Amino acid sequence: MGSTARTRVTLKDIAAHAGVSRSTVSLVMQESELVAGATRKRVQEAAAALGYVYNRGAATLRSSRTATVGVVVHDIANPFFGALMAGIDETLQAADYIPFLASSGDSLDRQARFLARMREHRVDALLLCPAEETPAASIEAIADWGMPCIEVMRHVGKSPLGDYVGADLRTGVINAVRHLVIQGHRRITLLAGIADHSAGRERLAGYRHAMHEAGLDDLSNVDRGPLTRCAGRERTLALLRGNTTPTALICHNDLVALGALLALSHLGLRAGRDCAVIGVDDIEEAALAEPALSSIATHPRAIGRNAAELALKRIAQPEGERQRIVLEAPLVIRASSRISSAVAQELT
């Protein structure tokens, strides 16, 4: 197979070899229906014989389609975004698109630099988990560039400006609170993050709504802090040493919840019996924790798939009606929030 490094094969070479014009070869490459079957075959054979490699850059220059999509996440090392990316990759691969990836580290500066680069590369669309504090103007600017942008998981402003794909965390948290209330819990604390973004606000709204519904407004308690496993452990320890200790914790994500489980076992308490714990995301680890962790499942892979599909649709119809896809975030009940260890069940 090893070919000698001769000069690069272009459409012109194929045209000469197959006895047709450049234009015809181009049409074949674009899988156009215009060209006759016999001709198409001859051209394809010539291309194969010469070892032709399509030059997408050259095609882009004329047609301004790149078959690429830009993806920005906060931190690709976080398993949640890994799974999200897996869903995106899967869908794009099937459509012969390829993702450019960047981690913003929740820094506006890095996000801006990446966006500028994506613009230079003329990606066909952008999948953006906006960094904290991203101003609405940035999203509008992207639209202004003529670049379709899908906001994923978070959106800037009160409600999404354009296309959006996320999980229904509000309902998820409401279900979680109801599930706890039914079991007799009254002092339910929300372990939230510090930053103020849509995904955090949704959780908070669900929590407030459900606590109010249960007549527990005056027992509402929101604890704000960092969102790592370690922080979850420390914050839980602090809460349990306070004077009004909660009987149940709803955590911003599973990492924090797993930290909370560590804190409980460190104090010799049993999650579920002594204090209920519920996380968010239902990462793989949740089911295998000891005791198994109840969690509001956000299905990152499915979100990734939906977001990528929406991006492809928007590329095809740039002016189509904007969509807002909100996937269900069902509560998965496991031992960490059950007094008795009855069989696992799911609430919608």
Partner DNA sequence: CCTCGTATTTGGATCGATCCAAAAGTGTCG
Partner DNA sequence: CGACACTTTTGGATCGATCCAAATACGAGG
Which residues make up the interface to DNA (CB under 7 A)?
8, 10-12, 20-24, 26-27, 29-30, 34-36, 38-39, 52, 54-55, 58-59, 61-63
Q: Among residue numbers 204 through 243, which ones bind a copy of itself (CB under 8 A)?
A: 229-230, 233
Q: Does 140 bind a copy of itself (CB under 8 A)?
A: yes
Cβ proximity to a copy of itself: between 186 and 270 the closer is: 270
Cβ proximity to a copy of itself: between 10 and 323 the closer is: 10
CA 113 vs CA 103, 135, 346: distances in Å: 11, 15, 43
- Return the one option of DNA, a copy of itself, none that residue 178 interacts with (CB less than 5 to 8 A, by type): none
- Which one among 22, 26, 110, 269 touches a copy of itself, defined by CB under 8 A? 110
Q: Does 54 bind a copy of itself (CB under 8 A)?
A: yes
Cβ(50)–Cβ(9) below 8 Å: yes
Q: Does 125 bind a copy of itself (CB under 8 A)?
A: no
Binding range to a copy of itself, per CB under 8 A, among 19-27, 97-105, 168-176, 218-226: 97-105
Tell the residue number behind the tokens 């372990």, with chain if given: 191
Site string (260-289) toward a copy of itself, x via CB under 8 A: --x--x------------------xx--x-
Nearest approach in angstroms of CB 32 to DNA is 8
Q: Does 29 bind a copy of itself (CB under 8 A)?
A: no
Nearest approach in angstroms of CB 66 to a copy of itself is 7
74: Cβ contacts below 8 Å, ≥ 6 apart? 81, 103, 104, 105, 106, 129, 131
Binding site for a copy of itself (CB under 8 A): 1-3, 5, 53-58, 60-61, 66, 68, 75-79, 81-83, 85-86, 89-90, 93, 96, 98-103, 110, 113-114, 117, 119-122, 137, 140-141, 144-146, 229-230, 233, 258-259, 262, 265, 284-285, 288, 290, 301
